[in-house]
Structure 1
């Protein structure tokens, strides 16, 4: 009985942790729906009067069923063609298929009425005369219907990345859908999507030279594949590629028309108001892009785009910056910039009233407070109440601003513009996607809780190899509750199981978790310790730290190599793209750097040559040449050298011998506390997989908890306690923080105390954009310390108090001077 109860408990916990419901099987029960039996595939039916995106999704489902079973279902676009066999009925509420089922009582559409992008998948008996059984996929709106179709595709075993990462589905002889009704939606975040950016070294040359040279680069063929991917990931919004050299999205009218067919909401980046691609479309001198001196010319330029694209579904970026991610031209002071921006808002909204909708408050609009623009907002810039304010991260994954309680009353709400790839200071990261999903989870949950629920956009660079992070970001946007602190590590296991099968899922997930952990300590693109224009200098690692890092990367690489022969032949391309290349490339980049610093130049050059060969394979033979010109090591060229690392060469500097130790250090991983006490309004919570030390970092939940008054920290603040043995003498506590931003203001606050001693408030000024911040985001750590006074030798207890939300603690280090002569 005890074993049975433990089994039931484990089953319940696994379901609570987000384990997939096996509602598609190869052996059906009596009332299950035979999508594909061993003799036939059920026809797919939709109404030709439904939206074009529904037709696209149904045709994709037919192809997906064939990919899995070898049988391609017949597709019919009229109810009058219904055969006397089980069928799949697909339709949007308000259309003939859905309404016929609802009026006859075969489905209950109540939950779909007025819902955004929601759907049901239901087995139905005798749906219409002559048809014995149906599987109904009904959406509240056309995108909801399409999401329902693609949900079924993924459930039968087709990865959203089947094309973009060459993930071949496992073959199955039959597919049965369990009887019952499943409902998904509405999404947690209304608009969810990606920004295809910094495409110069991957997506654009690949499109121009390999995939669609007839269009000179990224065009209709690429966007068709991209729109399909977004729908499979339940995303609905795209900021298109926009760098110099890439054809502007709207230079080919077919692109916008395709977006309309696929029901993708088009937008434009923080530097491109009103759907304009400035670097490709502004034909006058750059100095003329000045609202003070050329208001009529700029307004005409914006109005032209609304005239051609205003009938499509768009999310309009308001405001104005420079031509390409630069300051607005014209005004000289911040007050002048604030005043001009408010005039620009009024003029842009007048254009929207004229071209899009006289009720302009119903037109989706956003104001992205990126870089210097956030400072203008903080100085009093007034954004129309119905316009969504989009908070940026600091380009390294740390959200820079959070709405307070008063701001959260705004009708337009808030969003987040988040980087998974970045070209800019202090150093870019454009090559390998190494942001830990745990960091995305911590920051985006915090932003969501503070009201950023209307639009999320992730800058994904060239998209490849950012597949894992892109999907995780969009999964969170679709269902913010799917991944929680108690099941977050399961994400990589589920991902690996879907892409490569259950047999190797745990091993692959563990490899990728190690990959994110090691690269969080230092990204491959940041393997130099001097910034551009500075003199080269040695790394900050000690001899032992460098040796341990090299050993850890070597073990990861060897695990990948050992597992490779056991990956099925049909999965080899996906394995290389998603696991083998990023892990091996990161390991070789570290081996090259560390061996070079140690003076082992033969080993360093060998790693460099192997890395070149590995990348060359991607760009020549991978997937039969499908991805030629897609992958480039960073730095790929000499563009923007002021914020990119130098191309690796054997170091010309000498590593200095370590200075003699003068301090004794005791390291305490933040998650390895001996006691935990909840506070009056918050508690310490583990973020598994985040940080450099232990199993994860500790942060405060809920993110919206009010700060603790300094006089009540000992009584009301949540507390972690650590037992530690100290020598007699002076002691100091260093707290190593993840470089997050406070909920308000510019100071992170926490407190420490030793035993029953005084509570010492510890504050860290973020200094956003400064030298300390730059070093912090490259190291992914900020350090703050407090003196603990003179202590007696023996056992002590260090208390860590959470004073304000936003603090994320990785580890604590207690330091004491070494006695003379030691």
Structure 2
């Protein structure tokens, strides 16, 4: 858990420049840059390489902001003007001398993980009146501290990767006092570069690193710097067949160590081995049953070459390139074989690591079919971190129970903001709402997943916003809570573009996320790949409203682009403009096409291609040439991806014209879940609004805290927290209640459970069987909605109270629809018009 000294100023780093770094001098401040000179940066030559690298970056960052370049020195000798001293406790002679002289208090820094302090020290030596010290508990702690100062003076972590221009200043003064940061909430925090063939690899091969034919040391150097600026420490490198394996370049492993990056590998790549690029024997020999010595020897080679570095070893085994393990014929055999594999892999770790295997970081990722093996009794060594996956669409699939949380190895998460796989991929734009990331990650952390967080970022760009929030939460889980997560985009926009336009940018991005949460631009094709084409389920009203909403949003973004300073336009286009405008044109071509407006649809398609070409040609003077491609970018993996857009066939258009519109009920009604009239919190559990998470309205509602997450049937009326909605019925009878849920997974079991009741009637249990991996689940994640259905027995007319009782904390309520005499347009929400009752059932007993 992050802890702060009494001197710590507000922890919102986006506002750091306003709090402890200023452009005007106050009494006692440290003059980082005055009108005359920039304070030199001093580090010890005996410190870690990463400290040297970060110190040089700080020099460049100060010059970016002020135009003044600090000198870089290795000693305080002969210095009489203020200086910045950076170093690692126990490694830097400069820092240790200050401690020995009683000038620097590091009592709460010793032994801490990745922690640092930034403090002013008066009279550190004769003739030197003041220094600013950045001291780290370890090598990454020091680097994080240096980059913390860079961000505080106005340099975004994305200054290179998104061309964010810092605000120019003539002077910089650091407020006197001590600012302490760390340790992080999550021990290992990082990214997975994945599905990189049509983005970052193509750009690296054609533009940035052509000499190596794609992603290599030059690209990884930029990746490592970005990670340190974001306080990340772990990388799963790119691993698709188009990319040369990370260890193809011998210098990559050393480069990672220079930057203090912990190297790992994905769920399908045990023991730091890239199987798609490094396994040279026939694929059928990657089989531990029939070729144990060959496979074990293959793993041992990597241990010989890389065992001396700081790594997290993925243990276990799957097939090559995200496929089933070969050899065993059933789950029982797979479990037995995995136990053998665990033992053999840990023997290799023992052999080639300085510490015993029990002290060397290892992880086991329970991804796809492997989660089923774990649930059937697979025993993972106690010191190994078990990493839970999401369902590839941003909803966490598993959570540790109270007994499991006693494991010494703890738990982690593997999360997606980009995905190639069934039922349909999403590889083009970043559309996972920040509110969803917050909901799922905070829930996972509360349920014990605090050892390792990895996010699948695809090509890194354009996933900047999602990456930023994920890693901010991993560093400090308390920074964003339910009562301030709705300000995340404003804080982000203020840091990247300044205060003047931050509110407008945040408003645009909130609308962007909500519209694209309703249906991702990569999922506008309503039929699944390799199935018969069909039109969407959108009504004419819904299509018209969506066209209007996207058109309005596009115009806002285009107008703001013209309004902002020219120095910010490259960053704005990457972070705001292209995602908003691109998704708008993608929707317009699809929606106008379905309405039979061929000219308008083709015009929208042409505009989308123009904006994408702009990215690949003129953006940042050609820096990002060949990086961006709309989905589908190529013909690979077409079983998971939508087809290239074309106008719907005449037959499909004719069928839609003949279809009868939905019956508009006069007495049916819908309520946004967050629009409750009252709520009653009980048993230490409360219903709370999650702002900006939902298909319509302003948010959704869930139970907090999640650790106390279920109530027995006979306790609901007396102990369960409940929501109250004032409703009115014009007639009596049995009516259908549709409760729209965010498609989360239960904290345990397979059911998402809650209860409903009218007035003071006994609560009646309702449950949705998630049916993970089924067609119902697939349509649920594509539609961002699961619908639980029950029956309301209304015995009198007039005003009444509909109550929803909490049972499981995994339930997130989005919308409530009461079907009395037919459901009008928009009552079911976009695209969920077919047989919602098939998703759930009313339970007589919970």
TM-score bucket (shorter structure): over 0.9
Q: What is the aligned partner in structure 2 of residue 184 from structure 1?
A: 181
Map 1:396-407 → 2, pairs under 5 A: 396-407=393-404
Superposed CA RMSD in Å reads 1.5
Q: Is the 8 A contact 2:730 2:798 kept in 1?
A: yes
Q: Spell out, residue by residue over 1:201-224, the C-alpha distance to the aligned partner (whole angstroms, 9 max, x if none).
A: 010010011001111100011000
Q: Is the 8 A contact 1:676 1:720 kept in 2?
A: yes
Q: What is the aligned partner in structure 2 of residue 134 from structure 1?
A: 131
| Structure 2 counterpart of 1:239, from 227, 236, 239 | 236
Deviation of 1:662 after TM superposition, in Å, equals 6.3
Q: What is the aligned partner in structure 2 of residue 523 from structure 1?
A: 520
Identify the range of structure 1 (780-789 vs 658-667) with the bigger mean alpha-carbon deviation: 658-667
Q: Spell out, residue by residue over 1:63-113, the C-alpha distance to the aligned partner (whole angstroms, 9 max, x if none).
A: 000000000000012344x51110000011112122111122222101101
Say whether 1:28 aligns with 2:25: yes
1:691 alignment partner, SS class:
coil
Deviation of 1:535 after TM superposition, in Å, equals 1.1
Q: What is the aligned partner in structure 2 of residue 815 from structure 1?
A: 819
Q: What is the aligned partner in structure 1 of residue 838 from structure 2?
A: none
Q: Is the 8 A contact 1:739 1:777 kept in 2?
A: yes
Unaligned runs of 5+ in 1: 1-12
Deviation of 1:129 after TM superposition, in Å, equals 2.6
Question: Following the alignment from structure 2 to structure 1, what is the Cα–Cα distance between the partners of residues 226 and 415?
Answer: 19
Say whether 1:277 aligns with 2:259: no
Map 1:106-145 → 2, pairs under 5 A: 106-145=103-142
Q: Spell out, residue by residue over 1:779-802, the C-alpha distance to the aligned partner (whole angstroms, 9 max, x if none).
A: 111001110113322111100111
Q: Is the 8 A contact 2:14 2:494 kept in 1?
A: no
Say whether 1:151 aligns with 2:155: no
Q: What is the aligned partner in structure 1 of residue 836 from structure 2?
A: none
Q: What is the aligned partner in structure 2 of residue 6 from structure 1?
A: none
Q: Is the 8 A contact 1:17 1:486 kept in 2?
A: no
Q: Is the 8 A contact 1:681 1:706 kept in 2?
A: no
Deviation of 1:15 after TM superposition, in Å, equals 8.4
1:111 alignment partner, SS class:
coil
Map 1:57-72 → 2, pairs under 5 A: 57-72=54-69
TM-score (norm 2): 0.94
Map 1:166-245 → 2, pairs under 5 A: 166-245=163-242
Deviation of 1:256 after TM superposition, in Å, equals 0.7
TM-score (norm 1): 0.97
Q: What is the aligned partner in structure 2 of residue 39 from structure 1?
A: 36
Say whether 1:590 aligns with 2:592: no
| Structure 1 counterpart of 2:426, from 424, 429, 433 | 429
Say whether 1:700 aligns with 2:703: yes
Q: Is the 8 A contact 2:735 2:818 kept in 1?
A: yes
Say whether 1:417 aligns with 2:414: yes
Say whether 1:674 aligns with 2:677: yes
Say whether 1:543 aligns with 2:540: yes
Say whether 1:665 aligns with 2:668: yes
Q: What is the aligned partner in structure 2 of residue 737 from structure 1?
A: 741
Deviation of 1:19 after TM superposition, in Å, equals 5.3
Q: Is the 8 A contact 1:727 1:791 kept in 2?
A: no
Question: Following the alignment from structure 1 to structure 2, what is the Cα–Cα distance between the partners of residues 555 and 14?
Answer: 36
1:489 alignment partner, SS class:
helix
Say whether 1:728 aligns with 2:731: yes
Map 1:212-611 → 2, pairs under 5 A: 212-611=209-608
Q: What is the aligned partner in structure 2 of residue 96 from structure 1?
A: 93
Judging changes above 3 Å, is the alpha-carbon distance between structure 1 residues 660 and 231 closer, same or farther for their aligned structure 2 residues? closer
Q: What is the aligned partner in structure 1 of residue 786 from structure 2?
A: 782
Deviation of 1:17 after TM superposition, in Å, equals 12
Question: Following the alignment from structure 1 to structure 2, what is the Cα–Cα distance between the partners of residues 16 and 631?
Answer: 32
Q: Is the 8 A contact 2:668 2:822 kept in 1?
A: no
Judging changes above 3 Å, is the alpha-carbon distance between structure 1 residues 464 and 338 closer, same or farther for their aligned structure 2 residues? same
Say whether 1:710 aligns with 2:713: yes
Q: What is the aligned partner in structure 2 of residue 651 from structure 1?
A: 648
Q: Spell out, residue by residue over 1:574-615, the C-alpha distance to the aligned partner (whole angstroms, 9 max, x if none).
A: 011011100000000000000000001100000000000110
Q: Spell out, residue by residue over 1:476-502, the C-alpha distance to the aligned partner (whole angstroms, 9 max, x if none).
A: 000000001111111111111111111
Question: Following the alignment from structure 1 to structure 2, what is the Cα–Cα distance between the partners of residues 87 and 189?
Answer: 33
Identify the range of structure 1 (725-734 vs 63-72) with the bigger mean alpha-carbon deviation: 725-734
Say whether 1:756 aligns with 2:760: yes
Q: What is the aligned partner in structure 2 of residue 5 from structure 1?
A: none
Question: Following the alignment from structure 1 to structure 2, what is the Cα–Cα distance between the partners of residues 74 and 16?
Answer: 30
Question: Following the alignment from structure 1 to structure 2, what is the Cα–Cα distance between the partners of residues 565 and 749?
Answer: 49
Q: Is the 8 A contact 1:17 1:487 kept in 2?
A: no
Q: Spell out, residue by residue over 1:224-266, the C-alpha distance to the aligned partner (whole angstroms, 9 max, x if none).
A: 0000000000000000000001010000011111100000000
Q: Spell out, residue by residue over 1:529-576, the C-alpha distance to the aligned partner (whole angstroms, 9 max, x if none).
A: 110121111112111111111111111101111111111111111011
